[in-house]
Amino acid sequence: MSVRAGRISCDEVSESRRSFLKRSASLLLVSGMGSSLLSACGGSLGADQPDTPRLASVDNFRDVAGAAAGYPTVDGKQMRRGVFYRSNTLTLSAVDQTTLDALGIATVYDLRTPGEVARTGDVLPAGATSQTFNVLGMRDFVTPVFDTPGGAVAFMEGQARSYVTGAAQRESYGALLTHLADEPGVQLFHSSAGKDRAGWVSALLLSIANVPLDVITQDYLLSNVYLTLSIKAQTDTLRAQDGDAAVTVETPLLDVQESYLQAGFDQVQASYGTMTNYLTQGLGVSQSTIDTLRGRLVV
């Protein structure tokens, strides 16, 4: 291993990360090989699903499985669309609510703190029930103020690592994955912007489905595309109030960067060695639950 000025090269770090995720994917794949009966549980085939609607009032709403035929997996399969959806807070307009009603969503899982929920409640799809998982384990979450962009980036990376190390985070994420596996019907989970807490859940589901790392990363970064208008509106307001310097400092809080997701994956590797160990030991998710999830996720 070459070291330049006392630091490991970026290529070597990247290769180490890729090797970790490939090992984790292989272990999950082996664990699911005996679960062929589960492939018939939940959802319909991706090819039979219409395009996921874009919602103007809930702009980060999307199918966990991706678009078109669904994301490919490392073992030559594809994800099943129309089973799990992700989004930001359900501030649905009347038009968007009608659109969402047509998807037949049975359960909505809200990952926000009680304070966030109190400020902005969900408009639920028709017939849907709601459950709250306070992932952060605190009464309220208010974004801190930073002096530099680096401080904001470090905070976001720290948040991602806390999803792996925090007791409240691990308990909530484990319970959520179990509910996603066990509850019947189409399900939706969301956080405030739908990019951080919800983004981590989506990355876990894609990992369980054996989706390639590059695709998981691209899916994570899609929040920047879906939230383009929202981010612009926030930055315009911030610029008008506090100037360009404030926009530069706070932009890392409004979007997602690859380093945020990688910080979470790196912490999984550091704390548990493999994604499977994180799921079973860290989150307390049973192997049968992982098998059930993979059966629901993959065609």
For residue 20, which amino acid is it? F
3-297: CATH topology is: Protein-Tyrosine Phosphatase; Chain A (3.90.190)
- List the domain boundaries for the chain: 3-297
Taking the alpha carbons at both ends of the chain, their separation in whole angstroms is 40
> Residue 75, CB half-sphere, CA atoms under 13 Å: how many?
16
Q: What angle do CA 148, 153, 158 make, to 5 degrees?
A: 125
Q: 3-state secondary structure string, 77-112? A: CEECCCCEEEECCCCCCHHHHHHHHCCCEEEEEECC
Q: Where are the alpha helices (DSSP H) in 120-166?
A: 149-165
Using only C-alpha atoms, the chain has a radius of gyration, in whole angstroms, of 19
Residue-wise pLDDT tens digits, 50-101? 789 999 999 999 999 998 889 999 999 999 999 999 999 999 999 999 999 9
Residue-wise pLDDT tens digits, 192-221? 999 999 999 999 999 999 999 999 999 999
> Residue 213, CB half-sphere, CA atoms under 13 Å: how many?
19
Residue 19 binned pLDDT confidence (cut-offs 50, 70, 90):
low
Q: 100: which 2 tokens?
A: 């969402």
pTM of the entire predicted model: 0.85
